[in-house]
Amino acid sequence: MVGIIIASHGEFANGIKQSGSMIFGEQPNVVACTLMPHEGPDDIRKKMEDAIASFEDPEQVLFLIDLWGGTPFNQANGLFEGHEKTWAIVTGLSLPMLIESYAARMSMESAQEIATHVMQAAKDGVMIKPESLAPKEEKAAAAAPAAGVKGGAIPEGTVLGDGHIKFVLARVDTRLLHGQVATTWTKTTQPNRIIVVSDAVAHDKLRKKMIEQAAPPGVIANVVPIKKMCEVVQDPRFGDTKAMILFETPEDALRAIEGGVDIKTLNLGSMAHSEGKVVVNKAIAMDKKDVETIEKLRKLGVDFDVRKVPSDSPENIDHLLKKAKEELKTK
């Protein structure tokens, strides 16, 4: 696995590494190297040398650095000599760049290949609102995909692909579309459409708009009521669609599945704590209704993949249900 050094002036490297862990999970072979106000060039160079020595493969190292020409860059550049064919340095450190690097390591074995790949992700991560403030050439580029979608209405009855929508991930997440979903899970499952299935959100104009605008580049986000989703799975025009489907609650998932949405595996990612619920792990809280709903889903043949991010080890749903029942008895 390619080793990654995150380097910066001050604590920025530590902070962005922590942010990356919140979104993508803890990552091996990643070290933050900081240049603190009381330190000099030799100090951060030593930190980088120690980091490289700790990596599984010291011949494949990617430096993600805050500023071109700064001391962290200059010291990395000094170490770079003799490794021009395998190492790579990218400056302009940002969270999109770091997340894309983590995702790229899953399929790329070369630091230089990852470096080339993350350049575009870093650029795409710079956006502005209102869009009218963007330079004209950027606004034109951003408008192109939207125009294609708008003008691409498909006549009713058309069959695309095999006529059946594909679900690359079905997930229960109280927060619906957020950073972990828009980056980590999207990179892992590669959907071309994210569908939030919720009666409540579909009728909330503000939440619906926020979700549609939160879609990652190249992916369309839609919010639909449960009944509409049950109709979509019968529509052959969605035969080329690879969808990530998000539910706010297990109850919404059950209604959709009972309505004909063919989901074999349901990822339990996050179920927020509220009054009447008990905490069963760091991300999931359940009440009696949740327990009953999950048991109904299991009787329908649905498997459960309990984890917040792809790098987490799946938890046993039986253990969580047992813990929830025991805790609820004492309330």
Angstrom distance (rounded) from CA 306 to CA 315: 5
Angstrom distance (rounded) from CA 100 to CA 58: 21
Which token pair is 215? 């879609």
Angstrom distance (rounded) from CA 297 to CA 299: 5
Catalytic residue, candidates 164, 178, 203, 319: 178
151 contacts 138 by C-beta, under 8 angstroms: no
323 contacts 309 by C-beta, under 8 angstroms: no
Q: Which long-range contacts link 274-281 to residues 24+ away (Cβ below 8 Å)?
A: 276/331, 278/323, 278/324, 278/327, 278/328, 278/331, 279/327, 280/320, 280/323, 280/324, 280/327, 281/306, 281/315, 281/320
Angstrom distance (rounded) from CA 245 to CA 257: 12
Cα 299 to Cα 248, 292, 296, 303: the distances in Å are 21, 11, 5, 10
Catalytic residue, candidates 9, 83, 117, 273: 9
Task: Clarify whether 9 is annotated catalytic.
Answer: yes
Helix axes 250-258, 288-299, angle to 10 degrees: 30
Which token pair is 123? 């650029």
Angstrom distance (rounded) from CA 7 to CA 34: 6
At 64, is the secondary structure helix, strand, or coil? Answer: strand
Task: Clarify whether 83 is annotated catalytic.
Answer: no
Tokens 């493969």 label which residue? 57
Active-site residues, by number, are: 9, 178
